[in-house]
Structure 1
Amino acid sequence: MAYPANHLVCKADWKPSSSADIKMKPCTHAEPGSGRAAFGVQVHNIGDEALEVSVVVAYFRSEDLQTCPVKSDPWRVVIAPGDTWWSGLNSCSVGHLHGSAVQSAAWAVTGNDADPRQTAEHQSSPTVSIKSDGTVVVKQ
């Protein structure tokens, strides 16, 4: 599954996770005028073996960490060598964000981790400001 190309902001390069063979790119999708944003992550296996990975997506709203309304518990996925897994943007879609600065936050760790937020460091997407009129401004 790929993310929509329009209005998508991801880290420019792959960021390390807490596991050597896993890299990730947190992403934020904000539709101008709507006051809505969706948050996700791309997780890439750079190793030569399939890996079981526990992944959590959340988001920052004006620097306060928020859980996703639909999917707050970890995904547990198996990613083949060289493959990339994409979290579903509809699993972390939030409205009424006018006047807020938001960004995706993601954690990924190999194994069946009960809560990667407790054992892994997070990575964040660039900040997206959703102005009161719905205009979207990306802060790199």
Structure 2
Amino acid sequence: MKLNIYLILVFLMCYFTSCKKETSLQGFMTDSWQTTYLKIDMITAHKTDSLEVYEDKFDNNPEFIAQSIYNKDGTFLAWFLTKENKKVSESTGTWSVLNDSLFVKFNYGGRDMKVGYHITKTKDGFVGKSKYDWDEDGDFDDILTMKTKRLNTK
């Protein structure tokens, strides 16, 4: 009887110590990122019945590459990197997470932005999806899909 109890305890200890804790989204996001793919589906582009799609795979030596860093204190910095390795169009803001969503607030091009993204972790980074008014027609019906990779900054 005691042997069975010890075996069960050993099994349970092995089981629980072998379980890998998943990093919280807050901890996961605190890093440097580069956008590797971007697609915006504007369902009713500029209040018309026309679908407009913007898509960029950032391959073939693009003019600009989007990068960002999310800090532990809830602030972030985003910019575009030129072919000459210069940062342009820097934008600062704040970020937070709730469950599987990332929420960012920033000003870009004179426009105050408050966007929420559903985040799916991937092997190399994450996929973020949002529904927002990307075409600025007053309707929050545009779908953005963004794929990223983690930058090795160490």
TM-score, shorter chain, exceeding 0.5: no
Task: Compare CA radii of gyration and give the structure with the larger one.
Answer: 2
Higher helix fraction: Structure 1 or Structure 2?
A: 2
